[in-house]
Structure 1
Amino acid sequence: MTTSRVTAVTLSVIATAAVGVVPPTKAAAAPFVRCPAVQPPVSPPALPSPPPVDPAQGAVGGSALATPGLAVPAGAPTAPAVTATSWLVADLNSGEVLGGCGPHVHRTPASVQKLLLAAALMPRLDPAQMVEVARADLRDLDPASSLMGVTVGGRYSVESLWLGLLLRSGNDAANVLARVGGGAAGRQGGVQAMNDEARRLRAYQTHAATPSGLDGPGQYTSAYDLALIARAAFAREDFRRYVATTVAQIPAQPGTPGLAITHDTTLLGRYPGTLGGKTGFTDLARQTYVGVAERGGRRLAVTLLGAETAPLGSLGEAAALLNWGFALAPGASVGELVAPEEKKYDRRVVPVKGERPEPARPASPWALPVALGLGAALLLAVLLLTPRWRRGARRR
């Protein structure tokens, strides 16, 4: 998807800005405070009103986050003025929410929703399995949208599809992965797996209608939910490796040409300590971004929704918010990222059509003797502990 390209000079200035450090403190629920905002040079188009926030969902993570306005620790430096209509900065190590603007306000996600696809389906899919692209995978995709470049009938490894998804924001790769991960239910099964994963992560304001993040009916998320999803995705070593890749060569297969793909615009190589990120844009969502950077042992995530291309664009705004977050002393927070639910959804590896699932391992030859021995020992213990068989035991 189209994203703003912020100059390295601008990002370098933002990344090295000096900001004071404030002592740790916890914020309590406060009256509405307007978020610092800057007006873009061109007014954005009028957008439909998002659905209202359920009060119970708005309080997830702490009462201070239940606001459509600004939530920051007491005494914190002034948060940067941005065009994003909602944002959040959180420490992925401690789970503390450092601050946010309308953290639970519903917004459309655009391509940052691909992180939810990864969180839901990476545990299910074998990266080495080969997948054949079906014609339905490419149906209804605008050729001008972000594509990995797969071809109908082409065969690609699941790992190659993940690289195409995260480096090039491939909507075609998203459809293929969702179809394969959805099993017998196909692409819609993959979307259902995304929504199941959102519930497991307690990202209650997130509803996926498409696997790619292209606009769909009733599709929303929030800056807070995106931080929960980012924490789950970045906890995986394979995801971190994919999202930190800058150039990948997809090998050719018989009848399938190879592909050379480079990373879509993120803060990689532009903001110190960046581990990876994902941009997004649609006319409805505007610019969106999720990114993670590490500095001094702290790993901060920034999520923002509804940004405009100027004056800084989503990348410049993300860098400014990360600077603000790193300037806060550890312990300064307004809430927390809640832990996932204990309920487990089906996260088994799904064999790709045409591939045989891994055969079950044969039972150990010692399994039956061991079981019989344990059973005999248990029976003897019961008999010995029963008064009738215990020597010298008094009868009652």
Structure 2
Amino acid sequence: MHSASRRSLKVLATTLAATIALAIPAAASAAPRPAVPKPAEACAKNAAPPAPVDTSEKPAPGQASPSPLPVPAQPVGGARMGECGTVVPADVLNPPDGVTAASWVLQDLDTGNVLAAKDPHVRERPASLIKTLLALVAVTELKPEQPITVTKEDAEQECTCVGIEAGEQYTVDQLLHGLLMHSGNDVAHALATALGGVDATLAKMNGLAARIGATDTRAATPSGLDGPGMSTSAYDLSLIFHYAMKQPEFAKAVATKQYELPGSNGKPAIPILNDNKLLGVYPGFLGGKTGFTDDARHTYVGAAQRDGKRVAIVLVRAEQQPTPVVSQASKLLDYGFALEKVKADPVGKIDYQAPAAATTEEKSGKAGGTNVANAAAGGGAAAEDAFGTTGWVITVLVFLIIAGGFAVGYQRKKAQAEQDR
């Protein structure tokens, strides 16, 4: 009879083993853990701008050249913003021919959707487009009617210059027009002086860039003249422009075609014509900014409105041949409006959230009561199926074990009864 009990236990063990062997693969196939998405592979060209062609970025004696800015693990604006080459929606026409820019970004200026791009986060130099960042600091910290007295150093900056004179006073609003319409380096220095000096202004510009999520951007000069560590990207310039166009003083200045600064000492007023040749030519053009240095080459930002949509284009490291840069911008704006018309899916998003600015909930790993860390590791499956196939398998196993225990107990009692006869 003891052998019968042993046979019962053996049968039970075999049955349980077979059940487990069958149940575990079934559970695994029925409720697979979702794969953890891998971060987009960073474009190899992302880290730093190309080598300079002159000595403009040579650091001062005794100073080291700044290291390139760190590349975020996840590209700002979405996974596709980390891609190299042309980034366009599926099943749409290719971008127009004749665009020489090394990088460009088309965006919906209202929604912040990135409509199409090329090498959006590849790092380049901004040239005078960095003045949009300077203008943002100025309109944030200075009042439009605040008077600024021009210093000798302001007036003697390397040009392009508006022609402001040392000892004369101009309002912040007047200087802002000179900064954005004619890209005055003398005006840029005057605003920097009013903001606490060049070093303090650069700290404010770079601080603002970091706060709004422009992770590729480091200003080395307030004007955009090349300097050690100068860096940006087409995406960042699009983000900065998107933010700037929400500021009325900025939007008004870039949309102004002609302006005059008051003359001094009996001299005539200083006329200013907007450098952006699409203003008044391209239908619905809202304004923008141009730039050029030997290292940066041609840079451009502009926006236009059509059929209730506002589209903006940024071009970086472009050449005037064989197609002028403003013509390249015009073609890409047309392309952007065509994408809007067919409601093409966006390829990214202008994202103002700086990656380092984690909220309290994010730092604790929680958002809306859900543990983000667990979800990223695949724990989200448990939330979707709290009991699920695995729970049923465990229940069956427990039932079999209990039933087996009763069976073994019964066999033992039966055997004991037979022995007692």
Task: Report if aligned partners of 2:92, 2:344 keep a CA contact under 8 Å in 1.
Answer: no
274, 289, 292: which one aligns with 2:303: 292
Aligned to 2:87: 71
Percent identical across equivalent pairs? Answer: 43
Task: Report if aligned partners of 2:113, 2:350 keep a CA contact under 8 Å in 1.
Answer: yes
CA distance in 2, matches of 1:123, 1:240: 14
Give the direction of change, closer, same or farther, for the CA distance of 1:105–1:249 in structure 2 (3 Å limit). same
Task: Report if aligned partners of 1:88, 1:101 keep a CA contact under 8 Å in 2.
Answer: yes
CA distance in 2, matches of 1:222, 1:46: 16
Q: Tell me which amino acid in the other structure corresponds to 2:78.
A: G
Offset at residue 52 of structure 1 (A):
7.4
CA distance in 1, matches of 2:346, 2:71: 21
Offset at residue 56 of structure 1 (A):
2.4
139, 150, 158: which one aligns with 1:133: 150
Offset at residue 57 of structure 1 (A):
5.8
1:118 aligned onto 2:129: no
Task: Report if aligned partners of 2:288, 2:301 keep a CA contact under 8 Å in 1.
Answer: yes
After superposition, where does 1:135-214 map in structure 2 within 5 Å?
135-139=152-156, 141-142=157-158, 145-182=159-196, 186-214=197-225
Q: Tell me which amino acid in the other structure corresponds to 1:251.
A: P
After superposition, where does 1:198-277 map in structure 2 within 5 Å?
198-253=209-264, 258-277=269-288
Give the SS at the match of 2:72: helix
C-alpha distance after superposition, 1:174-214 (max 9, x if no partner): 011111123xxx12111111111101110010000111111
Give the direction of change, closer, same or farther, for the CA distance of 1:343–1:46 in structure 2 (3 Å limit). closer
Give the SS at the match of 1:279: strand
CA distance in 1, matches of 2:42, 2:206: 31
CA distance in 2, matches of 1:174, 1:203: 21
Task: Report if aligned partners of 1:179, 1:188 keep a CA contact under 8 Å in 2.
Answer: no
C-alpha distance after superposition, 1:266-308 (max 9, x if no partner): 3101211110010111111111001111111111110010111
Q: Tell me which amino acid in the other structure corresponds to 2:171.
A: S
TM-score (norm 1): 0.70
Task: Report if aligned partners of 2:214, 2:354 keep a CA contact under 8 Å in 1.
Answer: no
Give the direction of change, closer, same or farther, for the CA distance of 1:165–1:55 in structure 2 (3 Å limit). closer
Unmatched segments (≥5 aa) in structure 1:
1-28, 34-44, 345-396
> Which of 1 and 2 has higher RCO (CA within 8 Å, sep 6+)?
1
1:56 aligned onto 2:72: yes
CA distance in 1, matches of 2:219, 2:68: 17
Task: Report if aligned partners of 1:178, 1:211 keep a CA contact under 8 Å in 2.
Answer: yes
Offset at residue 47 of structure 1 (A):
5.1
Give the direction of change, closer, same or farther, for the CA distance of 1:225–1:58 in structure 2 (3 Å limit). farther
Which range moved further: 55-64 or 71-80? 55-64
Give the direction of change, closer, same or farther, for the CA distance of 1:58–1:314 in structure 2 (3 Å limit). farther
Q: Name the structure with the higher helix share.
A: 2
Offset at residue 257 of structure 1 (A):
5.4
Task: Report if aligned partners of 1:227, 1:302 keep a CA contact under 8 Å in 2.
Answer: yes
Q: Tell me which amino acid in the other structure corresponds to 1:122.
A: V
Aligned to 1:334: 347
CA distance in 2, matches of 1:75, 1:128: 51
85, 108, 112: which one aligns with 1:91: 108
Offset at residue 230 of structure 1 (A):
0.3
Task: Report if aligned partners of 2:102, 2:119 keep a CA contact under 8 Å in 1.
Answer: yes
Aligned to 2:417: none
Task: Report if aligned partners of 1:58, 1:67 keep a CA contact under 8 Å in 2.
Answer: no
Task: Report if aligned partners of 1:180, 1:187 keep a CA contact under 8 Å in 2.
Answer: no
Task: Report if aligned partners of 1:87, 1:302 keep a CA contact under 8 Å in 2.
Answer: yes
Task: Report if aligned partners of 1:203, 1:225 keep a CA contact under 8 Å in 2.
Answer: yes
Aligned to 1:103: 120
Give the direction of change, closer, same or farther, for the CA distance of 1:124–1:336 in structure 2 (3 Å limit). same
Task: Report if aligned partners of 1:70, 1:102 keep a CA contact under 8 Å in 2.
Answer: yes
Cα RMSD over matched residues? 2.9
After superposition, where does 1:318-333 map in structure 2 within 5 Å?
318-328=329-339, 329-330=342-343, 332-333=345-346
Offset at residue 251 of structure 1 (A):
2.3
C-alpha distance after superposition, 1:71-124 (max 9, x if no partner): 110011111231100000011211111111100000011111111111222111
C-alpha distance after superposition, 1:305-360 (max 9, x if no partner): 0111112222111111111111013352111110245999xxxxxxxxxxxxxxxx
Task: Report if aligned partners of 1:84, 1:304 keep a CA contact under 8 Å in 2.
Answer: yes
Unmatched segments (≥5 aa) in structure 2:
1-38, 44-50, 55-65, 358-421
Offset at residue 240 of structure 1 (A):
1.1
Task: Report if aligned partners of 2:72, 2:215 keep a CA contact under 8 Å in 1.
Answer: no
C-alpha distance after superposition, 1:38-79 (max 9, x if no partner): xxxxxxx9859x987855266111111112211110011111
CA distance in 2, matches of 1:58, 1:79: 26
CA distance in 1, matches of 2:332, 2:68: 26
After superposition, where does 1:8-23 map in structure 2 within 5 Å?
none
Task: Report if aligned partners of 1:209, 1:219 keep a CA contact under 8 Å in 2.
Answer: yes
Give the direction of change, closer, same or farther, for the CA distance of 1:166–1:99 in structure 2 (3 Å limit). same
246, 267, 289: which one aligns with 1:278: 289
CA distance in 2, matches of 1:53, 1:300: 29
TM-score (norm 2): 0.66
